[in-house]
Amino acid sequence: MVWRNRIYFASIVCFGVLLLQPGILSRTCAQDISISKEVDKGSRRSIMVVVGASGEEEFGKAFRESAERWHTAFQSEDFLLLDGSDPEKKETNNHLQQILDWLSRPSVDERLQERWLVLIGHGTNDRTAAKFNLKGPDISADAISKAISKVNAKWLIIDCSSSSGPFINALSGPNRVVITGTKSGSEQNYARFGEFLSKSIADPSTDLDHDDGVSILEAFLAASNRVVQFYENEGRLASEQALLDDNGDSRGTPAAFYRGARPVKAPANGLKLDGAFASRILVTSFGVPDKRSIEQRTLADSLAEQIELVRARKKEMADDDYYQELERLFLEIAKTNNAQ
């Protein structure tokens, strides 16, 4: 009980420190300690949203509305939209090459810049490759992987299309969050996940841990739950299940492994649950921007990852050792976030 009381005291210290920095208070000081999100307004991030070939205008309208929501969320930042959804518009530009050029563009400085690619539209999958449908030549997951392989950045690749599951296998890796609208290439029906994701990224109700911000994990969870609710309300068998991969194991995790923002299941065969990295990346902040330096954020992320490793080993550790290590890391995070 001594260590439990000291952990409680450490959590109060951490809570007090974070209250001095509105907008970054999150799961770091929650039950049994978790990971703080990274507010991105103070760092550089760049986003490309691609609206693919729509086929029918009904789809095109829905795709363009989703793209506009992303634009609103990122409007003060480096935002680029490629819209190939209008079947009547004669495109002279090669969207495939524009995407590849943007993806392979070097980062502007030595910091680990965030680069977001959001694909809104239809997808296909066959024996040769999984592809996102563009007006003109389609883009494959392998082509994206090759383009980003030498770019030093945090990559967030979000393919909202049908048949997008194989994108996880091709794109999973360190410092990457990969989200797909389906879990496999065989889920070929129109995917509604992208619409619900675009509605979740700036919705205050998506802020599951009430820290004045929406992480990409929270947006993924909210959108996935809305997909489930849609099919239940329609009395239809769900034909899509979104996945999120952020630990580099190319497996992906569905929202069903979470209740709220907390995991309630563990993957089989000792695999690691996805979501820790994605929980630290904000899409939208409703509070005061994070004032921490890049160095402070990097160190806080490292400490948060160490906390997750300790929590995963709880059953293997003596109680005193477990709570002593948590206390040390807890106070280190508080010290890091409060450093001037």
Question: Residue with structure tokens 């001095």?
Answer: 20
Tokens for 105, please give them.
């563009």
CA-to-CA distance for 252 and 165, rounded, in angstroms?
9
| pLDDT (tens place) for every residue of the chain, 340 residues total | 455 555 444 444 444 444 334 333 333 333 333 333 443 444 468 999 999 998 888 898 999 999 999 999 998 788 999 998 876 666 556 899 999 999 999 876 656 689 999 999 999 998 888 999 998 899 999 999 999 998 989 999 999 999 999 999 999 999 999 999 999 998 999 999 999 999 999 999 999 988 888 999 999 999 999 999 999 999 999 999 999 999 999 999 999 999 988 888 888 877 889 998 999 899 998 876 666 776 777 788 778 878 878 887 888 899 998 999 999 998 998 888 776 5
222 within 8 A of 200, measured Cβ to Cβ:
yes
149 within 8 A of 80, measured Cβ to Cβ:
no
285 within 8 A of 212, measured Cβ to Cβ:
yes
Q: What confidence score (pLDDT) does residue 289 get?
A: 64
SS3 113: strand
Instruction: Give the Å distances, CA to CA, from 15 to 203, 227, 334.
Output: 25, 35, 8
Per-residue DSSP letter, 281: B
How many other CB atoms sit within 10 Å of the CB of residue 237?
6
CATH topology of domain 40-285: Rossmann fold (3.40.50)
Per-residue DSSP letter, 111: S
For the chain, the residue count is 340
How many other CB atoms sit within 10 Å of the CB of residue 227?
24
How many other CB atoms sit within 10 Å of the CB of residue 193?
26
**Continuous segment of H or E residues that includes residue 289:** none
38 within 8 A of 296, measured Cβ to Cβ:
no
Where are the chain's structural domains?
40-285
Q: What confidence score (pLDDT) does residue 178 get?
A: 98
**Continuous segment of H or E residues that includes residue 114:** strand 113-120
SS3 284: strand
Q: Which residues contact 15 (CB under 8 A, 6 or more apart)?
A: 25, 29
Strand partners, 253: 244
φ, ψ at 117 (rounded to 5°): -120, 120
Please classify residue 182 by burial: count the beta carbons closer than 10 Å to its beta carbon, then call 0-12 exposed, 13-18 middle and 19+ buried: buried
- Angle made by CA atoms 306, 243, 127, in degrees to the nearest 5: 125
Radius of gyration of the chain (CA): 20
169 within 8 A of 157, measured Cβ to Cβ:
no
pTM of the model: 0.79
CA-to-CA distance for 52 and 153, rounded, in angstroms?
25
CA-to-CA distance for 180 and 87, rounded, in angstroms?
25
Q: Give the 3-state secondary structure percentages of the chain, helix then strand then coil, rounded to 5.
A: 45, 15, 40
